[in-house]
A and B are shown apart, each in its own frame.
Chain A
Amino acid sequence: MARGNEFTDGFLTTRLDEVVAWGQKNSLWPMPFGTACCAIEFMGVVSSHFDISRFGAELVRFSPRQADLMMVMGTITYKMAPILKRVWEQMSPPKWCIAMGACASSGGFYDNYSTLQGIDEIIPVDVYIPGCPPRPEQVLHAVLRLQDKITGKDRPKYDRVIPILPAREVRNS
């Protein structure tokens, strides 16, 4: 039996963190934090017509301890904010976050005393999806962008600490 070419046929070389990132990006386990109508749209993304499992992110976990992708879908009020932060802290690293829709990204049109003006006031966000609610294609696009980010050079910094904002006045538009 001829020998000598084991190292050219059937081997490929890579770096460990790259192959780990490749695995992570193709098996994102989302934790849906749905508080409003965007969560209904998410059901469409998961279901067979749009089928998020084509991108490996179909295994929806309702426990933060089993998930590595937090999807915040809906309006987050000040009263909900500490709960969201606690759930985020319960997820083990590495973890990523998608803010789905206008409310989660910026507060949407709820510019008032009760609504957080975007969840990035309390937790780090990797991908923002505009729309009210976004189309399912936009959610799939966000998952693809996150996959690029996981394997790319700017790996998300999930351990970034967000300082707590003090009471303040905002510009009255």
Chain B
Amino acid sequence: MQQLLDQLKQQFGDAVIETSSFRGDDTAVIKVSHLIDVCRYLQESCSMNFLMDVCGVDYPERKDRFEVVYHMYSQSTRKRIRLKVRVTEADPHVPTVIGIWKSANWFEREAFDLFGIIFDGHPYLRRLLTYEGFEGHALRKDYPVNKRQQIPTPISLLD
């Protein structure tokens, strides 16, 4: 299983910042600039055909505050891998991977909705779980626990 991480390190060199392997969970932290290349490589050469989840994580104490985590699975080799990219609060831009896995669409909208991470190139980056007019991003650690927003009024049923 270590093999896949070694393969990534060999292929992309410095773009792989760190790797870890805990009880069979292989994780690679990579540079945002190489995200599309790494994902395309995993999908085309390592048969990682199934993007299971994309989510955001907030680490307020870090310089690169946000992390975007991708979980991939290969239905033919039955292997899994986890990719992480780190972005700052000032520049929370990550390229979209919709071109590689279509399932990324709603995952990325969810991460945008709850963490405010902007996925460049996303065709329809709109809030998914909260509503239009919601202020702020609810799963950021500095979102006030006791804040209640105005209850929305009925909206037009046509989009």
**Is A72 on the interface with B (CB-CB < 8 A)?**
no
Contact with A along B124-146 (1 / 0, CB 8 A): 00000111001100100001111
CB-based contact A168/B148 at 8 Å: yes
**Is A63 on the interface with B (CB-CB < 8 A)?**
no
> Nearest chain A CB to B156's CB is how many angstroms away?
11
Q: Give the CA-CA distance A83 to B153 in the complex, in Å.
A: 9
**B150: chain A residues within 8 A (beta carbon):** 164-167
> Nearest chain B CB to A15's CB is how many angstroms away?
38
Given contacts A113-B138, A114-B130, A114-B138, contact A81 B146 (CB under 8 A): no
Q: Which residue of A lies closest to B138 (CB)?
A: A113
CB-based contact A172/B146 at 8 Å: yes
Contact with B along A146-172 (1 / 0, CB 8 A): 000000000000000000111111111
**B152: chain A residues within 8 A (beta carbon):** 78-79, 81-82
**Is A85 on the interface with B (CB-CB < 8 A)?**
yes
8 Å CB interface, B54-86 against A: none
Q: Give the CA-CA distance A79 to B148 in the complex, in Å.
A: 13
**B138: chain A residues within 8 A (beta carbon):** 113-114
CB contact between B151 and one of A122, A169, A172 (< 8 Å): that residue: A122
Q: Give the CA-CA distance A116 to B130 in the complex, in Å.
A: 13
Q: Give chain A's interface secondary structure class.
A: loop
Q: Give the CA-CA distance A116 to B150 in the complex, in Å.
A: 10
CB-based contact B131/A169 at 8 Å: no
**B153: chain A residues within 8 A (beta carbon):** 82, 85, 164
Q: Give the CA-CA distance A170 to B144 in the complex, in Å.
A: 10
CB-based contact B148/A169 at 8 Å: yes
CB-based contact B146/A169 at 8 Å: yes
**A78: chain B residues within 8 A (beta carbon):** 130-131, 134, 149, 151-152
CB-based contact A113/B143 at 8 Å: yes
**B145: chain A residues within 8 A (beta carbon):** 112, 172
**A112: chain B residues within 8 A (beta carbon):** 145
Chain B residues within 8 Å of A, Cβ to Cβ = 129-131, 134-135, 138, 143-155
With contacts A113-B143, A116-B151 known, what are 9 further pairs, Cβ within 8 A? Answer: A81-B152, A82-B151, A82-B153, A85-B154, A121-B151, A165-B151, A169-B148, A170-B148, A171-B146
Query: Can you show 29 pairs from A to B with CB atoms below 8 A apart?
Result: A78-B130, A78-B151, A78-B152, A79-B130, A79-B152, A81-B151, A82-B151, A82-B152, A83-B154, A85-B153, A85-B154, A86-B154, A113-B138, A113-B147, A113-B149, A114-B130, A114-B138, A117-B148, A122-B151, A165-B148, A167-B135, A167-B147, A167-B150, A169-B144, A170-B146, A170-B147, A170-B148, A171-B146, A172-B145
